[in-house]
């Protein structure tokens, strides 16, 4: 069993609890242990970097140092947390002066980051470390005929980290195919959901959400699959506001990829946090009924 | 006689972790603006903003809403043929404008950012309900009601925490932050 230092991030404490639950269930099902980083702090989201780059990097470094102390690679289910951790770790590994400065601050909590661990997004753990073949093998209830729109969003692929294809990634589609569903191609799969603009520039954010939903609905998706709590919230929770604002009548479920994986592995829906959404997922559940 | 750095040079050097941003190499191709999902809401498109920066039009740049409308999607950054980190530039401008206390009057971003930061430094975690009051008053009545309805729904679904989370080793955390920026305790 491989173990990872797991950084849930602030959203997964409550807002995106279902992501946390389904992440725990599905990793467990493929023999992976996610060990929560002890006493982790907020990584600053995208907002802290607006104010101060150095302190923002220090906040992330504290979590990295605790993860390293536990002796496992760092994994985050939230794309923004992942991006922050990835780049903080990269800068600390490359820049000795920066590392010294930040480690001096970390001393106050008896910590030190020496850069011996890797940073991954939860989806990378499934795709790269576990492998899609293995996931296919664990699929006992293939979601046959379910039309899934895989939604990458932004920070899981951008900015470019190392080997990944930023213009035409396919790993999300491969994962959806592995669980027996149809990964449908649509124009907005890599476009932005508005992120935190939903708070600061509402009109702009709602427009982006509308365009995205429209793009998936046009191609008759049954569900949009996400890999980030902020994307999930923008697309699902604000769907009603989009309808009010633009006179549309969207009602498309937005689920975490781990929830779909869990269903395909025959895990009980309650354990996957299904049932707390605004938009009913009943139709999706009917696809998971028959065992292979 | 010593010459002062231009506004363009100043802004190019505001990204310390990645060792600066090559703004001067912009060829004004417009790939960034063509890619940007929020360009239509911006006073200046990203391409134009960079043109203005390179022409040292400081006031015009800082008064525009462009950098507060950036959603940090990094789509422009991965496509720029000159390898300019445009999203990073938008962050730099936010920091610069907060530092100078010079930004568009109706921008919600700076207040939100400051409230967010204070909330983290106080408890080590971010907590949605504390953040809400900082921006909600800038909404119109209809938006306010929509937002309130959304919040109520979230509460009913158990998706908003009732008790604010905080760290176990909060004192150490604050002392750590103090070594980077002395906050006067950040209480
Ligand atoms: S994509 Fe790069 S080179 Fe082209 S206009 Fe934008 S910043 Fe300039
Ligand atoms: S990072 Fe900002 S400026 Fe660049 S494309 Fe996205 S929203 Fe536009």
Q: Give the tens place of pLDDT for each residue, B11-29.
A: 999 888 888 899 999 999 9
Q: What is the CA radius of gyration of chain A?
A: 19
Looking up tokens 């050097």 gives B13
Lowest mean pLDDT, pick from A3-7, A47-51, A255-259, B137-141: B137-141
Residue B85 Cα to ligand 2 midpoint, Å, equals: 10
Local structure of residue B114 (DSSP, 8 states): H
- B125 or A250, which is more confident? A250
At B54-98, the pLDDT tens digits run 999 999 999 999 999 999 999 999 999 999 999 999 999 998 988
pLDDT at A9: 87
Confidence of residue B133 (pLDDT cuts 50, 70, 90): very low
pLDDT at B130: 43
pTM attached to this predicted model: 0.89
Residue that wins the pLDDT comparison between B46 and A16 = B46
Strand A147-150 to A74-76 pairing: unpaired
Confidence of residue A83 (pLDDT cuts 50, 70, 90): very high
Q: Are the beta carbons of A148 and A220 closer than 8 angstroms?
A: no
Q: Is B78 in the pocket of ligand 2 (CB under 6 A)?
A: no
* Residues A149, A225 contacting (CB under 8 angstroms): yes
CB-CB under 8 Å, B108 with A200: yes
What is the predicted ipTM?
Answer: 0.90
C-alpha to C-alpha distance for A63 and A70, rounded to whole angstroms: 11
Give every CB contact of residue B143 below 8 A, 6+ residues apart in sequence. Answer: A202
Closest-CA residue, ligand 2 atom 5, reads: B36
- Ligand 2 binding pocket mutation candidate from B38, B43, B91 (most atoms within 8 A of CB): B38
Could you tell me what percentage of chain A is helix, strand and coil, using 3-state DSSP and rounding each to the nearest 5?
50, 10, 40
Task: Please tell me which of the candidates B41, B77, B160 has its beta carbon nearest to residue A201.
Answer: B41
Note whether B182 contacts A: Cβ–Cβ < 8 A. Answer: no
Atom of ligand 2 nearest to the CA of B75: 5
Domains, chain A: 2-121 (1.20.1050.140), 141-288 (3.40.50.11810)
- Kindly tell me if the per-residue pLDDT of A292 is higher than 80: no
In testing the pocket of ligand 1, which one of B80, B85, B93 has its CB within 8 Å of the most ligand atoms?
B80
B42 Cβ below 6 A of ligand 2:
no
Instruction: Measure the CA–CA gap between A65 and A117, rounded to whole angstroms.
Output: 9
Question: Mean of the pLDDT values across residues B171-184?
Answer: 82
Instruction: Give the contacts of B62 (CB within 8 A, at least 6 positions apart).
Output: B93, B96, B97, B100, B102, B103
Q: What is the mean pLDDT of chain B?
A: 81
B88 CA → ligand 2 middle, Å: 9
- Closest-CA residue of A relative to B167 is A39
Kindly state the tokens that stand for A39: 């006493």
Which stretches of chain A are assigned E, i.e. beta strand? 2-6, 32-36, 74-76, 119-121, 147-150, 182-183, 223-226, 254-256
Pocket lined around ligand 1, Cβ cut-off 6 Å = B 26-32, 46-47, 50, 80-82, 84, 86
Q: Name the token pair of A271.
A: 């354990």
State residue B135's pLDDT score.
46
Query: How far from B94 is each of A215, B97, B156, CA to CA, in Å?
Result: 32, 5, 36
pLDDT score of A12: 79
Segment A232-242, tens digit of pLDDT = 989 998 899 99
Rounded Cα distance, A97 and A4, in Å: 28
Helix B170-180 vs helix A96-106: angle between axes, to the nearest 10 degrees?
140
Inter-chain CB proximity A10 and B165 less than 8 Å: yes
């Amino acid at each position: 069993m491989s173990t990872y230092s797991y950084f849930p991030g602030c959203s997964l404490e409550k807002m995106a609890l279902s992501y946390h639950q389904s992440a725990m269930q599905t990793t467990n099902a493929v023999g992976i242990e996610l060990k929560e980083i002890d006493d982790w702090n907020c990584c600053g989201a995208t907002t802290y970097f607006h104010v101060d780059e150095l302190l923002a990097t220090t906040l992330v470094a504290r979590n990295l140092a605790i993860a390293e102390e536990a002796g496992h690679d760092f994994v985050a289910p939230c794309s923004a947390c992942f991006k922050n951790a990835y780049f903080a770790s990269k800068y600390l590994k490359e820049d000795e002066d920066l590392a010294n400065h930040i480690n001096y601050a970390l001393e106050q909590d008896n910590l030190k980051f020496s850069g011996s661990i890797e940073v991954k997004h939860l989806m990378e753990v499934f795709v790269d470390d576990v492998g899609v073949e293995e996931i296919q093998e664990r699929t006992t209830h293939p979601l046959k005929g379910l039309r899934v729109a895989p939604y990458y969003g932004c920070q899981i692929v951008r900015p470019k980290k190392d080997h990944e294809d930023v213009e035409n990634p396919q790993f999300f589609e491969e994962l959806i195919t592995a669980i027996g569903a149809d990964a449908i191609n649509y124009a907005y799969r890599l476009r932005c959901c508005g992120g935190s603009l939903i708070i600061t520039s509402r009109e702009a954010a709602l427009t982006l959400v509308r365009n995205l939903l429209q793009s998936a609905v046009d191609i008759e998706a049954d569900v949009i699959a996400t890999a980030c709590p902020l994307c999930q919230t923008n697309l699902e929770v604000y769907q009603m506001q989009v309808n009010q604002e633009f006179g549309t009548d969207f009602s498309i479920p937005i689920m975490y990829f781990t929830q779909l994986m869990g269903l395909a592995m025959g895990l009980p829906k309650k354990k996957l946090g299904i049932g707390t959404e605004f938009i009913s997922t009943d139709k999706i559940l009917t696809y998971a009924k028959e065992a292979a | 006689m010593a010459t002062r750095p231009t506004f363009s040079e100043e802004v190019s050097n505001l990204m310390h972790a990645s060792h600066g941003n090559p703004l001067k190499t912009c060829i004004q191709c417009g790939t960034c603006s063509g890619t940007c999902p929020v360009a239509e809401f911006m006073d200046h498109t990203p391409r134009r903003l960079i043109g203005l920066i390179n022409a040292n039009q400081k006031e015009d740049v800082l008064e525009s809403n462009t950098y507060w409308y950036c959603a940090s999607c990094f789509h422009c950054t991965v496509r720029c043929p000159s390898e300019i980190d445009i999203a990073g530039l938008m962050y730099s401008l936010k920091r610069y404008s907060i530092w100078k206390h010079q930004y568009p009057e109706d921008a919600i971003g700076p207040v939100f950012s400051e409230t967010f930061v204070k909330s983290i430094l106080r408890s080590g975690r971010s907590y949605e309900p504390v953040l809400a009051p900082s921006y909600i008053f800038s909404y119109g009545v209809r938006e306010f009601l929509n937002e309130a309805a959304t919040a109520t729904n979230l509460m009913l679904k158990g998706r908003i925490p009732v008790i604010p989370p905080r760290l176990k080793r909060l004192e150490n955390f604050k002392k750590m932050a103090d070594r980077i920026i002395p906050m006067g305790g950040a209480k």
